[in-house]
Structure 1
Amino acid sequence: MKNITEYNHKKILVLGLAKSGVVAASLLHQLGAFVTVNDYKPFEENPDAQGLLEQGIKVICGSHPVELLDEGFELIVKNPGIPYSNPLVQGAVELGIPIITEIELAYRISEAEMIGITGTNGKTTTTTLIFEMLQSAENQPLIAGNIGTVASEVAQIATSENKMVVELSSFQLMGIQTYRPKIAIITNLYEAHLDYHGTWKEYAQAKSNITKNQTEEDFLIVNADQQKLIDLIRFTKAKIIPFSTKRYLTEGASVRNGQLVFQGEEIMAVDEIALPGDHNLENILAAVTAVKILGVGNESIRSVLRTFRGVKHRTQFVKTINNRTFYNDSKATNILAAASALKAFTEPVILLAGGLDRGNEFDELIPYLDNVKAMVLFGETAEKLEEAGRMAGVKNIQRVENVEMAVPAAYKLSQEDDIILLSPACASWDQYRTFEVRGDIFIEAVHKLK
């Protein structure tokens, strides 16, 4: 960890806890800042806040009072989940108080170069593939960020011998100032999180922040099949390296005659890859590009791609029972992600879907339901999804209370060689704290089947 002094004796507000807030508060306290933590959860129900108080950090819980700004903070480290529409955050913006997320802290203290991965879909798979390929090549990678491990915690142990592979959300990228990855990746860009960002323009701008501080010495890997993405990052100073699943590229990564190709060099046959789905081919090409830039050999790449079957909650194989195969795609929190999962299968699918109602309809999902023989629906969006299913001609549609009940219901509807797929097309927050919790409940329910 770099020995930095820029936060020493500064009054800093850490707004919102969860994992990133706890780590940020402790780190800033260690770096000599006068830290105040503000979290919405009441103190008596808040073990994180209680632990920080024991460290000597000032803690205010139960609400986000705007009056806190009277204390003269010089910096706010905001939990990514708290929107900028929050009155306290709005007040800070009006006062000109800088607002960052903990990824900025991680960058400032890290001795390791960073590989930053963002995009609407595919971030976690791409991040994990890069980590696995670097590890296979006997590098010393560290994995962090939105994937589950707090970046500023990992950065504290990182050395110049490491490479930090960091998954980044649009929420995190809105709060950067100097963050500059050596290699940045934008997997794809589709309309998402408009309940947080308000507009497509703001969402896209947040994603493009990943490259705003890059220089001519850095690399930006982008999906060449999306013209709107290419247009978005024209301002970058980084060297752009594209990838494409739709056409052969002499510069970058693509597919030619059934082979993965990078800069004209064949790496391996596509049919040797263990991970199913065209959407995953995008993720693979992005990951291959990153590790080739870093000098990883083809054998290390091949060994990973021949065995890697996916990340937990991302089209994850769970179990085969009586020739019915179960997949957990709980991370599919939007229509596009669910559509990508459905496209990965040629077998008949029983789709388990539903969740938080963000106000959208599901008409865009209809073209991808051709292979769906039955739907088992739950959550706030069950009625809307049923309407989409009826319009697509799905004849067997059932509604149940939750994911746990959906699993046996789907099994009863199934026959041999069917795919039973949890791909909700919705966020989990109407019933479950996270998509991980939802996916774990699905897995547990599958293993309980008799």
Structure 2
Amino acid sequence: MKTTINQVSGHVGQEVTIGAWLGNKRSSGKIAFLQLRDGSGFIQGVVVKSDVGEDIFQKAKSLTQESSVFVTGIVKEDERSPFGYELEVKDLKVIHESVDYPITPKEHGTEFLMDHRHLWLRSNRQHAVMKIRNEIIRATYEFFNTNGFVKVDPPILTGSAPEGTSELFHTKYFDEDAYLSQSGQLYMEAAAMALGKVFSFGPTFRAEKSKTRRHLIEFWMIEPEMAFYEFEDNLVVQEEYVSFIVQSVLKNCRLELTRLGRDTSVLETIKAPFPRVHYDDAIKFLHEKGFTDIKWGDDLGAPHETAIAESYDKPVFITHYPTAIKPFYMQPDPEREDVVLCADLIAPEGYGEIIGGSERIHDLDLLKQRLDQHQLDPEAYKWYTELRQYGSVPHSGFGLGLERTVAWLSGVEHVRESIPFPRLLNRLYP
């Protein structure tokens, strides 16, 4: 009976055949231990010479790393294994012999591993990170579908930019200028006016020349937008969504978290509601902590965000940033025009901002005024202003960066491990 490693729990005591690759092996004169993987999981195959005979035992002993095989054996429960099962091998057929596999069990430098990312993905660690990424995506669809959102796909090629064009990739769209999207938000606002509550999930691009562990050139964003939702409503959706994906990862990726050595106790506490810190109070707090370089009106950098986050065991909202440092579309606080109704959600443990969101301007005259202040072409945004001309309503939305969230939940240090093929400032290969 053919099966996969993640299904062997249903075949204890039965003989099964699994198509797999050899990750590693060790052997003595009478027994060989094969570390096998098939994409769905990892299992140890035990080959006993007296059970299989000389030919199969020698075949097992001579297997090279990453050779592909069909392994037939009896599924046994094994309390010593983190997976809980092992395979008592009865037969072994080599599909393809791998020669001189470059990523050996020894230590390799980061650049070497990045050059071989197409193969590095096969490792236990990278497999675990990708499974956690997949679970976050699965849970995202479950959360929004369950809560009445409609998935809408905004364009990747755009003629304008929600936050200016300084960090966008420019291209020619026949005889027009175009840009790779840095956010689908503006289009999602249009979709929300048609469908009420919507979300998108897709790639975004930022030509920011940054080399920090938190930045990628190409990354994936989940961007919900909601008609008739005001600022506080927006924060509630964010904290409920983040709580849901964290608990889903804890429930469905326990083995992967263990393999990564992740301290799950710090994730167990991630449940709504989350604390809120006004930007004014954040600046005061930072001054008290010795960050004398920052003044009111400055944007917060990574060290500032980390210092604030360290005071909490949950993600924390920093709200009401100065109007002058935020994009044109954010709704001013009705009681203070110098700040806007926005919030960044900062993850614990130094992982930084994972969500940026705000209530959007819904007054036509104010939006035109803000476009003028930001020196943006009103013709390019004509369709966007028309959303305020025909049945405008209060509305809000946010964007969650998938890779930073994956890095946080996985406990990996750098976002380059949280996406299958990272695009970094100096990396377009493989």
TM-score normalised according to structure 2 size: 0.23
Larger radius of gyration: 2
